[in-house]
């Protein structure tokens, strides 16, 4: 297992737009292995490369603990949302924003395309947790965190929550 430290808000790498992967090489494979190990050890369903301090367009996802029909690891390099429709609110959290969860507005159905670790095109159509995760992880590649999508009221709650936490630790 090669587990990395997960970058936590407000780390600068989380605000940066990640760069496209132009070649799948040994470094890409090492990054993917490391991201998968880190995601599993943290008990997450998805992870984006900027969360392990690598500003590259790579995401990994694993949904089997949500739904046993969705076995297997999903690796997407340079993923993009090709099509999205509908809307939903569902609570989500992020390994880079510990101890905070909130319901965010997301598209209900997402169709995404990218390249897997072997250089093959992967296409995923997902609803529910899959749709949320795709949007959440691709946001990370654009320097966007779910807390950037909070409503005004949620946002002031988040600021207060952070303040309380800071007071407790100093
Ligand atoms: Zn996240």
Residues that are catalytic = 137
Mapped onto helix, strand or coil, the DSSP state of residue 101 is strand
Q: What is the dihedral of CA 97, 102, 103, 104, to 10 degrees?
A: -40
Instruction: Compute CA distances 127 → 13, 19, 95, whole Å.
Output: 29, 27, 21
User: How many folded domains does the chain comprise?
Assistant: 1
Rounded distance between C-alpha atoms, residue 79 and residue 102, angstroms: 25
In tens, the pLDDT along 90-123 reads 999 999 999 899 999 999 999 999 999 999 999 9
The average pLDDT across 25-30 equals 97
> Is 3 part of a structural domain of the chain?
no
Partners of residue 122 on adjacent β-strands: 114
Q: Is the pLDDT of residue 170 over 80?
A: no
pTM: 0.92
* Tokens 């997301």 found at: 106
Among 2-6, 55-59, 89-93, 155-159, which is the least confidently predicted range? 155-159
Task: For the chain, give the number of residues.
Answer: 170
The average pLDDT across 10-30 equals 97
> Is 16 part of a structural domain of the chain?
yes
- For the beta carbon of residue 165, count every other beta carbon within 10 angstroms: 13
Rounded distance between C-alpha atoms, residue 61 and residue 170, angstroms: 36
Residue 77 has a pLDDT of 98
Mean pLDDT over each residue of the chain, to the nearest integer: 92
The average pLDDT across 72-101 equals 95
> Is 107 part of a structural domain of the chain?
yes
Residue 68 pLDDT level (bands cut at 50, 70, 90): confident
Range of the domain at 148: 12-169
Mapped onto helix, strand or coil, the DSSP state of residue 160 is helix
CA R_g for the chain: 16
> Is 99 part of a structural domain of the chain?
yes
Q: Is the pLDDT of residue 169 over 60?
A: no
Q: Which of 108, 93, 109, 87 is nearest to 146 (CA)?
A: 93
Residue 164 has a pLDDT of 64
Query: Percent of the chain beyond pLDDT 70?
Result: 95
CA of 43 to the centre of ligand 1 (A): 12
CA of 136 to the centre of ligand 1 (A): 6
CA of 95 to the centre of ligand 1 (A): 6
Question: CATH no. for residue 41?
Answer: 3.90.45.10
> Is 4 part of a structural domain of the chain?
no
Mapped onto helix, strand or coil, the DSSP state of residue 155 is helix
CA of 51 to the centre of ligand 1 (A): 8
CB 111 within 8 A of CB 67: no
> Is 1 part of a structural domain of the chain?
no
């Amino acid at each position: 297992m090669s587990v990395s430290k997960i970058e936590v808000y407000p780390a600068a790498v989380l605000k940066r737009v990640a760069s496209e992967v132009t070649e799948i090489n040994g470094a890409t494979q090492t990054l993917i292995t490391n991201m998968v190990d880190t995601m599993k050890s943290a008990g997450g369903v998805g992870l984006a490369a900027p969360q392990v301090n690598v500003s590259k367009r790579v995401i990994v996802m694993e949904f089997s603990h949500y739904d046993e029909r969705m076995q297997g690891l999903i690796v997407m390099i340079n993923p993009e949302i090709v099509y999205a429709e509908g809307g939903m609110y569902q609570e989500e959290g992020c390994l880079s924003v510990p101890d905070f969860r909130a319901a965010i507005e997301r598209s209900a159905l997402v169709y995404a395309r990218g390249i897997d670790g072997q250089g093959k095109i992967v296409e995923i159509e997902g609803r529910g947790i899959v749709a949320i995760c795709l949007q959440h992880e691709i946001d990370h590649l654009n320097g966007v965190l779910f807390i950037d999508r909070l409503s005004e009221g949620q946002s002031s709650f988040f600021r207060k929550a952070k303040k309380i936490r800071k007071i407790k630790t100093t």
